[in-house]
Amino acid sequence: MKHKYGHPRFDCISNENIKAAVDLADTYLSDNGIESAKRTRCRLALEEMLLQYQERDGNAPFELILARSITKVVVKLRVKGERFNILEANEHLIVRAREIGITTLPVWKYRRKTNVVFLVLKVNMPNHKTMNYVIQYMGREKHAFRNGLLMRILNMLMLVMEPWIAARIIAAFNASDVRAILTYAVALLMIELGSSLFTFFGTRLLERAYNTMRGNMRTEVSGNVLRIKTEHIDANGKGVFTERLIRETANVVTGIDEMVNVVTEAFRLVSLLIAFFAVSKIMMVYELFLFVLYLLIVLAQSKKTNEDSRRLFAAREVYSGFIGEMVRAARDIKLLHCENSFLMKLNAIINNCTDIEREYGNRKNLHYLARSQFVTWTDFF
């Protein structure tokens, strides 16, 4: 597991340090997509543990460790001092852990004169049920989605056949077999034409399905906004709902398209392995090794990209929410002459969002560079 915030250490369990640790944990959980209700209960559990350790020895140093994997977020508390099983002393923590939705019950250990408590929270990840639910929004265009996916796969088959036919042309040229050269050249031409047509019509069908899905999702979400209680809108801000209505519905479509690209690319790689098996078993073993290595690289990159996208989503929601509140309260802000304080806070939010967007973009470019360099050098070898 990797973590952005390192291991913040505190020299004592003072009230200020407790607040700082709890706020830091809350920010980290928010950046990693943990819902507001779970974050609140986790704050309370963490604060309660620190206060109890404070009662025993307020001068004890402690450390907060925040980390996450693809499916879970870990909040670990390390408190120096005498042995004190916080879970035995406070049974309510177990109950609160169940309320939070922690995947495993809190764990307490005593190592090297340090009390260690683990809280593990589950991160909701999309699965096949989620995908099936989302695809239902395509309505009558689901057949267009299936046909578009089929055409993408046929296009990948065409791309797999191209190098094989090109090799046949070279062999026929070396043998001065003009008839074979023309035959394979015509076949290559037909494959190129077929590939371009499959790409065109496949993309057209998929876009038709995506547009229908996007429109149906926005229609349903817009209708549900009217059913949301006013206090929820006031608590989260109008900008949050606007952000989810406009941007996040588009992001769902982007995610589905990325899934289609992954499926078709995987199909192409499998087809290449079969083709290499027919030509050379040694080459097939080499390509299989590269395929596994490439898959590990993509998985590692996807894990980091998911973390960055959650942080970016949270930052954009904060920005949209604050803008909505500022516009709604513009008259009161002017009457109270507090424009400068609001602008300073807005500037800080914008800078944070911009930094995360820049980091997200830079990481995506680095990931693309790493994948392309991997393919280039392995092709050379």
Chain segment 19-58, per-residue pLDDT in tens: 889 888 888 887 776 777 778 888 888 888 888 889 888 8
Q: DSSP of 100-130, one letter per residue?
A: HTEEEEEEEEEETTEEEEEEEEEPP---HHH
Q: Compute the distance between CA of residue 352 and CA of residue 315 in angstroms, rounded to an integer.
A: 7
140 in the same domain as 105? no
Beta strands per DSSP E along 43-170: 62-68, 72-80, 102-111, 114-122
Residue 234 confidence (pLDDT): 58
Q: Which residue has the tokens 């994948």?
A: 371
Write the CATH number for 54: 3.30.565.10
Look at residues 148, 52, 39 and name the one whose alpha carbon lies nearest to residue 99.
Answer: 39
Residue 115 in domain: yes
102 in the same domain as 48? yes
Residue 265 in domain: yes
CA angle at residue 25 from 48 to 82, to 5 degrees? 45
Question: Angle at which helices 142-174 and 178-225 pack, to 10 degrees?
Answer: 160
pTM value is 0.52
160 in the same domain as 91? no
Query: How many domains are contained in the chain?
Result: 3
Q: Do residues 26 and 35 lie in contact, with contact meaning Cβ atoms separated by under 8 Å?
A: no
68 in the same domain as 33? yes
The domain containing residue 273 runs over which residues? Answer: 126-277
318 in the same domain as 219? no
Please, what's the b/e burial string for 59-79 (b: 16 or more CB within 10 A of its CB; e: otherwise)? ebbbbbbbbbeeebbebbbbb
Q: Which of 122, 149, 172 is the last residue of a domain?
A: 122
215 in the same domain as 83? no
Residue 1 in domain: no
Q: Which of 60, 90, 122 is the last residue of a domain?
A: 122
Could you tell me which residue, 262 or 146, shows the higher pLDDT? Answer: 146
Q: Compute the distance between CA of residue 236 and CA of residue 6 in angstroms, rounded to an integer.
A: 29
Residue 310 in domain: yes
The amino acid present at 223, given as its one-letter code, is G
Confidence of residue 162 (pLDDT cuts 50, 70, 90): confident
305 in the same domain as 326? yes
Residue 2 in domain: no
Exposed / middle / buried, residue 229 (Cβ in 10 Å: 0-12, 13-18, 19+): exposed
Could you tell me which residue, 151 or 126, shows the higher pLDDT? Answer: 151
218 in the same domain as 87? no
Q: Compute the distance between CA of residue 253 and CA of residue 135 in angstroms, rounded to an integer.
A: 10
Query: How does pLDDT run across 138-157, given as a tens digit for each residue?
Result: 888 888 888 988 888 888 88
Q: Which of 277, 307, 341 is the last residue of a domain?
A: 277
238 in the same domain as 158? yes
Please, what's the b/e burial string for 310-326 (b: 16 or more CB within 10 A of its CB; e: otherwise)? bbbbbbbbbbbbbbbbb
Query: How does pLDDT run across 208-220, given as a tens digit for each residue?
Result: 888 888 788 777 7
Residue 3 in domain: no
Bridging pattern class, strands 62-68 and 102-111: unpaired
Q: Do residues 242 and 320 lie in contact, with contact meaning Cβ atoms separated by under 8 Å?
A: yes
Q: Compute the distance between CA of residue 43 and CA of residue 36 in angstroms, rounded to an integer.
A: 10
**62, pLDDT greater than 90:** yes
**127, pLDDT greater than 60:** no
273 in the same domain as 130? yes
